[in-house]
Amino acid sequence: MANGRVKTGSMSEFFNHVIEGLSKKDKKLNPKWFYDYEGSKIFEQITKLDEYYITRTEIDILKKNQDEISKCIGEHATIIEPGAGAGEKIKILIKSLKKPELYVPSDISKTYIRDIATKLEKALPNIKIEPWVFDFQSNEKIPSHIYQKKNLTTFFPGSTIGNFEPLDAINFLKKVKNQFYSDKIIIGVDLIKEKKILERAYNDALGITSKFNKNILKRMNKELNADLNLDFFKHDAIFNKKKSRIEMRLISQKKQHINIGQTSFLFQDQEIIHTENSYKYSLDMFKNLAKDAGWSVAKIWVDKNKLFSVQFLIHQ
């Protein structure tokens, strides 16, 4: 969970992913389906929660180090932001840059990314903004008139990289070079820390993360003719220390049958649907991962409590 966002995934693709995932012995759902318009708006609420340290900590790092970050990026930059968020972080970044030329926010939700672009046009009148509907899992390349520009820098905040399995994270970092044509990345990386801090961040008292997790079930009812009762599933998130990741799940609260179109599934009481992972890294762990993708870590900024890092990567 962290920003992360098909050309809003086709209905058939959504259906196929759901049927495939729920047919497994250990049931799972692809987290990209959290992010329709409503899901993206719910995630915005999560970023404001007291328990969710990631957003405010990263913003503080960006503010305190904006001059140094600006020097790393350089002048006349084009900033590409896959999975663009609510806009506060990009405002800090772009306002710190010298003569930035273009901002390319992208997201899986067409409606959401257009809303973001419209809002940012008012807040950032001195830079051209061109939204791009993009799916992390596609092989689509950035439009040619954009990649022909110089100084393409990818901005990937919020620890979204942690939502990828490590091998997928390596492949995504390769995409940044091969599909975005970027030679630089400013990336947010969540750090390993106390279990209680991590689990509180993904099990908030107001239940906003629960609402976000269940949005995938809500979409299944609305878009796939499913008959799930959302009250019969409980949100849960635990830290798996061995795998260094938060595991977000939905747990069936009773033995039940659910139907998705003409397909039926049996859930046992307390049976789990695994919906998302969020990997946490040490600085050395992420350095090695980036190296495997062809990137070197040139600079790291960390908050005083060592909760989170913003890192500057250069393609090798």
Give the model confidence (pLDDT) of 196-231 as tens digits: 999 999 999 999 999 999 999 999 999 999 999 999
Between 2-6, 97-101, 212-216, the lowest mean confidence (pLDDT) is in 2-6
What CATH number is given for 53-193+280-315 in this structure?
Answer: 3.40.50.150
Q: Would you put residue 36 in left (φ > 0), alpha (ψ -120 to 50) or beta?
A: beta
| pLDDT (0 to 100) of residue 148 | 86
Q: Which two tokens stand for residue 21?
A: 């995932």
Least trusted range by pLDDT, from 8-17, 92-101, 171-180: 8-17
Tokens of 191: 């750090």
The SS3 of residue 304 is coil
Six-digit token string for 20:
């495939």
**In the predicted structure, residue 8 carries a pLDDT above the cut 50:** no
Residues with Cβ < 8 Å from 251, sequence gap 6 or more? Answer: 233, 234, 235, 236, 270, 271, 272, 273
Q: What is the mean pLDDT of residues 148-161?
A: 94
Strands 272-279 and 245-252, sheet pairing: antiparallel
pTM of the model: 0.90
In whole angstroms, what is the distance from residue 57 CA to residue 155 CA?
A: 16
CA dist., res. 291 & res. 251, Å (int): 37
User: For residue 171, what pLDDT is reported?
Assistant: 96
Q: Is the pLDDT assigned to residue 136 strictly greater than 90?
A: no
Q: Domain ranges for the chain, please list them.
A: 53-193+280-315
CA–CA separation, 170 and 261 (whole Å): 36
Tens digits of per-residue pLDDT, 227-281? 999 999 999 999 999 999 999 999 999 999 999 989 999 999 999 999 999 999 9
Nearest-angstrom CA–CA distance, 84 and 129: 12
Residue 2, pLDDT score: 55
